[in-house]
Amino acid sequence: MRIFLVAAVFLSAAVLPAAEKFSFVRPLEAGSCFRCFIQTRQSARYKFSLPGRDDPKVKLDTVQAEFAGWLQIRQVNAAGNPSSIRIRIERLTGALNGKTLQNHFPFGTWLDADLSPERSNFTIEGKPVPPESHALLKVLFPPAESALSKLTGAERVLPKPGQGWQPDLTSFLKLLDQRRIQFPASAFRSGITYFGPERVGKFPCRKFGLLIETAKPSDFDCRIKMTFWLAPSGPPVRVSREAREVIRQVMRGDQPFAYGTVVDLLCEDHTEQTLFPVDRIPDSAPAGKKSGAWDSLIR
């Protein structure tokens, strides 16, 4: 009987599922191709309150952009993010400050993009794209100098769905410091949640949520909420991001005409992005599919 019990214990241990290790290190590779869809709405509201006046001046800047097409990685930076890409446009629409912009590119147009922070330009056959189109493309394809794994950690044993862990805010605080916004990690509430497996189209993924927000109101308040879906390898197949940031500043120093002016800046961003990996970018779209041929990828 004793031998039977010992054997039963070993058999039970053998069928228990092993803890799943999951890698968040996802550097892009030159030559990788993707079917790409991005939709973003961003706004910046400035309010200037002058000393002794009850009528603050308000300025609102808005941009809305949508892109559908193909993307090829040409070069990557040290963080594994694209520094140079090639884009094939199927749809590019948007509006600046409520004014709908003209689409300057026929269906299937190829663009080259330098995404290094010091340049960030977009060209067609070596010539700069029109300024309005550049404004849309710049918010759709911003430079990225940090990696997701800096927040999540390089590798983790996944918890049960609904549970999570604390992100490493070092890279986040460094980005703030570059903007002269200095706070300790204790000034923020943050967490990463694992939601479990979920398919995005035909791609089996793992779904995660990230939240970073200021712990209490101050002259700087922010809230970043991001949901991302990761396949076994490669960049996030889908990302949904909502961000809100409020900065309050009182003008001081050697600006006599602006001295004492209170500037309130409210920035908001809602972005949805989908990247479906493909072996190559097709030479041309099938007839009748110019409105977006997604069926073969998402089903």
pLDDT tens for 92-101 read 999 999 999 8
* pLDDT single digits (tens) 136-182: 999 999 988 788 999 999 999 999 999 999 999 999 999 999 888 89
Distance CA 111, CA 141 (A): 12
* pLDDT single digits (tens) 41-73: 999 998 887 776 777 888 999 999 999 999 999
Residue 13 inside a domain? The answer is no
Residue 134 has pLDDT above 50, yes or no: yes
Distance CA 198, CA 209 (A): 13
User: Between 105 and 3, whose confidence is greater?
Assistant: 105
Q: Which domain holds residue 37?
A: 20-279
- Give the pLDDT of residue 19: 63
- Band the pLDDT of 1: cuts 50, 70, 90: very low
Residue 86 inside a domain? The answer is yes
Residue 27 has pLDDT above 60, yes or no: yes
Question: Which one-letter DSSP state was computed for residue 25?
Answer: -
Residue 285 inside a domain? The answer is no
* pLDDT single digits (tens) 243-297: 999 988 766 655 555 666 788 889 999 999 999 999 998 876 544 444 443 443 3
Helix or strand run (H / E) with residue 5: helix 2-15
Residue 83 has pLDDT above 80, yes or no: yes
Residue 16 has pLDDT above 90, yes or no: no
Residue 236 inside a domain? The answer is yes
Distance CA 65, CA 92 (A): 7
In our burial notation (b when 16+ CB lie closer than 10 A, e otherwise), range 146-159 reads ebbbbbbbeebebe
Residue 1 inside a domain? The answer is no
Distance CA 168, CA 151 (A): 5
- Give the pLDDT of residue 261: 73
Residue 7 inside a domain? The answer is no
Handedness of CA 70, 285, 278, 276 (dihedral sign): positive
Residue 195 inside a domain? The answer is yes
Question: Which one-letter DSSP state was computed for residue 102?
Answer: P
- Give the pLDDT of residue 103: 80
Residue 99 inside a domain? The answer is yes
Total of domains in the chain = 1
* pLDDT single digits (tens) 179-222: 888 999 999 999 999 999 999 999 999 999 999 999 988 889 99
Amino acid at 85: I
DSSP 264-284: EEEEEEEEEEEEEEESS--SS
Which whole-number Å values give the CA distances from 290 to 34, 69, 109, 287, in the listed order?
17, 10, 12, 7
